[in-house]
Amino acid sequence: MLLKISKLCASISVFIWLLSNVVMAQNILVSEWQKTEFSAARAHILSATNQDIILGVEINIVENYKTYWQSPGSTGVPAMVEISGANIMPDGQKILYPHPQKFINKYGETWGYKDKIVLFIELKRQYTNLNSPMNVIFDYAVCDVICLPERAVFNLKLDAGDLQKTMAFLKFGKYFDRLPEPIDFADSALSSIQYDAANRLNISLNSAVVGDLFITDNQNRFYQLFSASSSHLVYNILGMKLAKSTANHSLTIHYFNGQDYLQTQKTLN
């Protein structure tokens, strides 16, 4: 009897040891929440195909505060990320931003998000047959009357091989669907873009857009709507002085046509 009990205990010990090693080998697909007085954030591994990995950073923001889009507007700073790990490639890490909202108050005009948002991150691993632990440092700002810097540090782990889209990926679908699809200028809702004599940006439309256009350029200027009709928009340009001789001035225009979130580019000489 004692021998049977001893064998049973030994079997249970081996099972527990094997189970603990299985648990240790599992992916860590979601981090702990990183909370402050004004926001909370956590990171998810959403998918991995070949070398390509997609993360999502889920951010909850307290009432009246906002966080910023890739171009923040008249004030603020966009998010920044740095991801390290033995199998993580340092180059090519990129934050993908869903289509933003416009907020205007007595302090200025900002572009971003309130309440809750998910920002997506593209990155690459070096070898697909190795595990990929990763340390994610994510800096962002939340603002109301004042802007406050926030930093969240996440620890995640991706096992070797591919990872199909997770349940979190499906849960975040409404945010992923707001990522803009690039299209050619000729296929866009815009018919022409040019500067006028007052150095304002004039945009003519050949089809309707819903809500605001968000414009970015390669000189980090802020384009603030000056006047609008159903087919013509005029923007003040704030920031670096526009030089008429500037060549290869590249604009990216983000908009919603009622069905799809789109972005198109135009280079002005």
Question: Percentage of residues in the chain with pLDDT exceeding 90?
Answer: 75
Q: Residue 208 and residue 243: Cα distance in Å, rounded?
A: 31
Q: Mean of the pLDDT values across residues 194-213?
A: 94
* Same structural domain, 134 and 43: yes
Kindly tell me the burial class for residue 28, based on how many C-beta atoms sit within 10 Å of its own C-beta (0-12, 13-18, 19 or more).
middle
- Beta strand 210-217 with 249-256 is antiparallel
Strand, coil or helix: 14: helix
Q: Please determine, for residue 8, whether its predicted confidence score (pLDDT) is greater than 90.
A: no
* Same structural domain, 87 and 153: yes
Q: Which of 104, 128, 113, 122 is nearest to 78 (CA)?
A: 113
Q: pLDDT value at position 113?
A: 98
Question: Percentage of residues in the chain with pLDDT exceeding 70?
Answer: 87
* Residue 21 belongs to a domain: no
Q: Which of 24-38, 48-62, 81-95, 244-258 has the lowest mean pLDDT?
A: 244-258
Q: Residue 92 and residue 122: Cα distance in Å, rounded?
A: 7
Which CATH number is 207's domain given?
Answer: 2.60.40
Q: Which residues pair with 66 in a beta bridge?
A: 114, 143
Q: Please determine, for residue 6, whether its predicted confidence score (pLDDT) is greater than 60.
A: no
Domain residues for the domain of 170 are 34-176
* Residue 76 belongs to a domain: yes
Q: pLDDT value at position 238?
A: 85
Q: pLDDT value at position 242?
A: 55
> What one-letter code names the amino acid at 53?
I
* Same structural domain, 117 and 147: yes
Q: Mean of the pLDDT values across residues 230-256?
A: 80
φ, ψ of residue 6 to 5 degrees: the values are -60, -45
Q: Please determine, for residue 23, whether its predicted confidence score (pLDDT) is greater than 70.
A: no
Q: Per residue in 27-58, pLDDT tens?
A: 899 999 999 999 999 999 999 999 999 999 99
Q: Per residue in 99-135, pLDDT tens?
A: 999 999 887 899 999 999 999 999 999 999 999 999 9
Q: pLDDT value at position 246?
A: 52
Strand, coil or helix: 189: coil
Which CATH number is 134's domain given?
Answer: 2.60.40.1250
- The DSSP H or E segment spanning 13 is helix 2-25
**Pair 83, 149: CB distance under 8 Å:** no
* Same structural domain, 40 and 161: yes
* Residue 27 belongs to a domain: no
pLDDT-based confidence at residue 22 (cuts at 50, 70, 90) = very low
Burial profile 94-108: b = 16 or more Cβ within 10 angstroms, e = fewer: ebbbbbbbbbeeeee
* Same structural domain, 46 and 135: yes
**Pair 140, 118: CB distance under 8 Å:** no
Q: Residue 66 and residue 142: Cα distance in Å, rounded?
A: 5
Q: pLDDT value at position 117?
A: 99
Q: Residue 61 and residue 35: Cα distance in Å, rounded?
A: 10
For residue 11, count other CB atoms closer than 10 A to its CB.
Answer: 10
Q: Residue 262 and residue 190: Cα distance in Å, rounded?
A: 11
The pTM of this model reads 0.87
Write down which residue in 176, 200, 219 finishes a domain: 176
* Same structural domain, 159 and 188: no
* Same structural domain, 160 and 193: no
How many domains is the chain partitioned into structurally? 2
Kindly tell me the burial class for residue 68, based on how many C-beta atoms sit within 10 Å of its own C-beta (0-12, 13-18, 19 or more).
buried
* Same structural domain, 217 and 160: no
* Same structural domain, 40 and 156: yes
Q: Which of 76, 82, 170 is nearest to 118 (CA)?
A: 170
* Same structural domain, 256 and 223: yes
Q: Residue 42 and residue 197: Cα distance in Å, rounded?
A: 48
Burial profile 160-178: b = 16 or more Cβ within 10 angstroms, e = fewer: eeebeebebbeebeebbeb
Q: Which residues pair with 117 in a beta bridge?
A: 59
